[in-house]
Amino acid sequence: MNLLATEVEAFILQCAVQAGEVSVMIAPSALYLERMLSLKSKGFWIAAQDVSVHEKGAFTGECSAHQLQSMGVEGAIVGHSERRTYHHEDDVIIGKKVVACLSAGITPVYCCGETLTERESGKHFSIVEQQVLTALQNRTAEEMLKIIIAYEPVWAIGTGVTASNEQAEEMHVWIRSCIEKQWGAAVANQIPILYGGSVNPGNAAALFACPNVDGGLVGGASLKNADFEAIIQAARS
């Protein structure tokens, strides 16, 4: 819930880089989706920050995946840690949002990750495995290849603390192994897994160099043109 309408427009117009050979998805507040869609000349994907589990009906204040798709929106973030914390969404609800996205033909960016307490107690692997397998249960291999997974350790979101390269790589390898057991090696090797936890210009290149880190889910650093551009450049290297 950052930036006003004029600031959002200025941000994109002033952005000095084109998406080019890397995929860049921007997820503004829902109010600004239509304006962002009209400024797509730089090749960015436009996504929503959330989506309703419902296709249509009397659900005041919500946006359905089909409504988003009808506007030209290409993706939606589902299961972000802030939705889990502030809106008490669990993986059953989040799984329904994944299905809603797939049914409308937009890409779900499914977020998972453990809290500091869960990591310190040694439960981080089992927690993330449970999240992935619960939210994505009953999805076919074909559907899985239409999903993006984002690992966001809750203890590293907005704190300035970043998981080490080793911690990020270790969890991404674990997520791939969980996917392989359920959907096979072909799916596990192809599905994009992003790292989301205080990604910034100073750590992006090293994180993206990890073999199993396919990109980043960027928070606060995406609000500054220079930082945003630097992270995109890091993804190119």
Which are the catalytic amino acids? 80, 152
Residue 26 CA, distance from chain mean position: 10
Contact 146, 102 (CB under 8 A): yes
Sign of CA dihedral 176, 180, 183, 187: positive
First CA to last CA distance, the chain: 31
Contact 139, 95 (CB under 8 A): no
Q: How many CB atoms lie within 10 A of CB 73?
A: 25
Q: What distance in Å separates the CA atoms of residue 195 and residue 218, rounded to the nearest whole number?
A: 8
